[in-house]
Structure 1
């Protein structure tokens, strides 16, 4: 067997399908996207090379700037709100044990199993100013005036709430898995030394969760940039572009306005941002020797 796997032809035969898939499905589309970003291609006909004009327009485009700012706001919401709560919930579930642990783990993950379309339309009904659940609750507590949660002033916060709630299960599950992989003897030792719940979390759980936190935070930023389906079905980017997110703006430019080259320029900028975020997170969480 060792002789077989040391044969270069065997190695090439095993590795080649994976390399071919990577080249055709990932690298080639990225290179093609970079090329189209320098053209005025509309999705049909011939593409003409226009140099940096798409990127120059991109940095002057106030609508794109707003969409990028909304995506950044969502990333902050993920990191500052969703992830700390998800980590605490994961730690509590780990201590809960028994049937309760399995039950609540499933309950928190249910929104991630439900279709995005169902989630969007469900929240549309909840936010409805005439018969929505939130307005019914406000009316129950004495607030007679109807509130339109998807108006231009409040829509972005309403959408952020839906997105943070919808992605909570994934974040919690990843943190839960990370906590489960911590050696229980460390907790036993801390208990013998008289450490409280808070001290155990701060000095054992949190430091050993650094690799998991790094992955989760990186994925949160990338997910915020990629966010499209829920926003598209919930508000379509409106009203007045107040809930426009970067990926949704890319879709509208490339496939609705037939500015395929401009859409690809946005996509290339996404790739650059994602690479920079990954490098930045690697430096922050870099382990010292």
Structure 2
């Protein structure tokens, strides 16, 4: 076997498929996006080179600024609402053991396996101002008004709730897996030393989950930037542009306004932001070397 893997032809045959996939599925599309970002291409006909015009326009495009602001708002919602809750639920599930642990883990993950279209229409009915479940629940508590959950003031919060709820299962499952990989001996030693649950959580669980938290936070920010399907089906960025998100705005510009070049310029900005976020988080979570 060792002789086989030292053969250059064997190594090449194993490496080449991965290289081809990387080139045609990742590198080529990104390179084309960079190219079309410098053109006024409409998706049809000839692509006319216009230098940095698309990127200059992005700086003054108020709708693009709104979409980025909303994406940042969603990323903060993921990091400071969804993830702390996901860690707490993961810790509780780990303590439960037995059948209850497995059943609850499946229940929390159910939204992630349901079609995005089903999720969007389900929440549209929940938010419906006339016969929606949410307004009816409020009526049972004595509130007689009729709240329009997709008004310009409420829409962003309504969308945020749906997206946090929908993605909760993934975050919880990753944290749950991270907790399961912590050596139980550490918890036993802490218990012998008299450490309570709170101390154990902050001194053992969180520090040893550092790499897992880093991955989850990075994925949360990237996920916030690329949110499109759920937003499109719920509000399509409306009313006005109050729930416009970056990926949805890209779709509208590229495929509805037939500004394919401008849409690719937005895509290039996405790539730059994602790379910057990844590098920044790597530096933030980097272990400090002791001299």
Same fold (TM over 0.5): yes
The 1-side partners of 2:65 and 2:90 are apart by: 36
The 2-side partners of 1:13 and 1:106 are apart by: 40
Where does structure 1 lack aligned partners over 5 or more consecutive residues? Answer: none
Output aligned runs, 1:44-83, within 5 Å: 44-83=44-83
Of the structure 1 ranges 133-142 and 212-221, higher mean CA displacement relative to structure 2 is found in 133-142
The 2-side partners of 1:3 and 1:166 are apart by: 50
Name the residue aligned to 2:151.
Answer: 151
The 2-side partners of 1:71 and 1:265 are apart by: 17
The 1-side partners of 2:137 and 2:188 are apart by: 46
1:89 matched to 2:72: no
The 1-side partners of 2:96 and 2:139 are apart by: 37
Output aligned runs, 1:5-154, within 5 Å: 5-154=5-154
Shift of 1:288: 2.2
Name the residue aligned to 1:181.
Answer: 181
The 2-side partners of 1:107 and 1:287 are apart by: 36
The 2-side partners of 1:23 and 1:78 are apart by: 32
The 2-side partners of 1:170 and 1:126 are apart by: 23
Aligned Cα root-mean-square deviation (Å): 0.6
The 1-side partners of 2:9 and 2:167 are apart by: 45
Other structure's SS at 1:167 match: helix
The 2-side partners of 1:206 and 1:41 are apart by: 49
Other structure's SS at 2:152 match: coil
Where does structure 2 lack aligned partners over 5 or more consecutive residues? Answer: none
Shift of 1:4: 1.4
The 2-side partners of 1:7 and 1:102 are apart by: 46
Output aligned runs, 1:180-199, within 5 Å: 180-199=180-199
Shift of 1:139: 1.2
The 2-side partners of 1:167 and 1:95 are apart by: 23
The 2-side partners of 1:99 and 1:185 are apart by: 23
Write out per-residue CA displacement over residues 183-210 of structure 1, whole angstroms, 9 at most, x where no aligned residue. Answer: 0000000000000000000000000000
Deviation above 3 Å: which 4+ runs of structure 1?
none
Other structure's SS at 1:157 match: helix
- Using the size of structure 1 for normalisation, the TM-score is 0.99
Shift of 1:3: 1.3
